[in-house]
Amino acid sequence: MTGHAPLIIDVAGLALTAADRRRLAHPLVGGVIHFARNWQDRLQLAALNAEIKAVREDLLICVDHEGGRVQRFRTDGFTHLPPMRTLGDRWMAGDAMGATNAASAMGYVLGAELRACGVDFSFAPVLDLDYGGSAVIGDRAFHRDPRVVALLAKSVAQGLLQAGMSHCGKHFPGHGFVKADSHTEIPVDRRSLKAILADDAAPYGWLSSGLASVMPAHVIYPKVDARPAGFSARWLQDILRGRLGFTGAIFSDDLSMAGARVIDGREVGYTEAACAALAAGCDLVLLCNQSVVAAGAPVDELLDGLAESLAKGGWTASADAETRRRALLPRGEPLPWPALMASAPYRAARRVMG
């Protein structure tokens, strides 16, 4: 059908069902995102990921695993990672270099533990600024100062790279200023483009040469575009790629979120939202928590709708986008869990984390 596999979906439970296998084999599916319901212990997670790779080796196995309250796997040996704000606090307490070293160590531990269980990729780090009013961002952010955020995020990314894992800066151009949660509402940020570029979006420009991927916010910035950033060619192509020079992969945020279901003032379905995100410049689109039934699930509707829309020219398959997706697959062989626990780099990183 196409060489471009833009859809990231989830699976129902602890092992693959027949419906999961059918969906994962679809040529438009490029990856899987895990949630807590997909976790029982390390052996089960590794077995599930082996099942996924047996369907298609190129599928990108993803998870939201940042530390703090956003950490899907917390038991059976996984390190309890602190929220990223603790690194910013350490920086502001006068230990900037120690904070960057701890950030690199945290990135390595995060990535190495995930890879030891067959996970390829984590949607981290958060580049949002901490204005103090956003409950959904809160202590997920490193700091209010974009310079501190950029340098700590770069250090986390360096640690992930040491583990052979790519990274994702989110949520472009910034979700921290608005109080509304885009999971349940449609946040609106009425600041000017100049103000956003000078503050919230600054880390994306400073890190553009090294960012592997970016996830835009389901936030509307009406002084720039009437559409949320993830559906806006102005934000994704003109500003992120053109003005800021970003060349990596662009993910949509979850299309099942409330902030993703209203475009140009009207509520849209999953297929229209996905096509709008792809047309705006996203390489990959996420649909989460919509795969829990065998047939008639929204993910099946989206797969059929995307295929039909592609045939009719509603969106264009991109070889460059597929190249960017595949570039996110991990590098090198991961250490098995027992070998990782005994390895000098891992043990040193745990000591640096404290």
**Are the beta carbons of 222 and 184 closer than 8 angstroms?**
no
Let me know if 205 is exposed, middle or buried by CB neighbors in 10 A (0-12, 13-18, 19+): middle
Distance CA 13, CA 15 (A): 6
Active-site residue, from 253, 254, 283, 300: 253
Upper half-sphere CA count for residue 293 (Cβ side, 13 Å): 7
φ, ψ of residue 118 in degrees (nearest 5) = 90, 10
Q: What gap in Å lies between CA 37 and CA 20, rounded to an integer? A: 14
Dihedral class, residue 181 (left if φ above 0, else alpha if ψ from -120 to 50, else beta): beta
Pairing of strands 249-254, 121-122: unpaired
Name the nearest CA neighbour of 251 among 220, 223, 294, 211: 211
Residue 253 is a catalytic residue: yes
Question: What six digits make up the tokens of 202?
Answer: 């600054």
Examine the residue annotation and report whether 128 is marked as an active-site residue of this protein.
no
Distances (CA, A) of 154 to 150, 159, 166, 242, 296: 6, 9, 12, 21, 42
Whole-angstrom Cα Rg for the chain: 19
| Catalytic sites, residue numbers | 183, 253
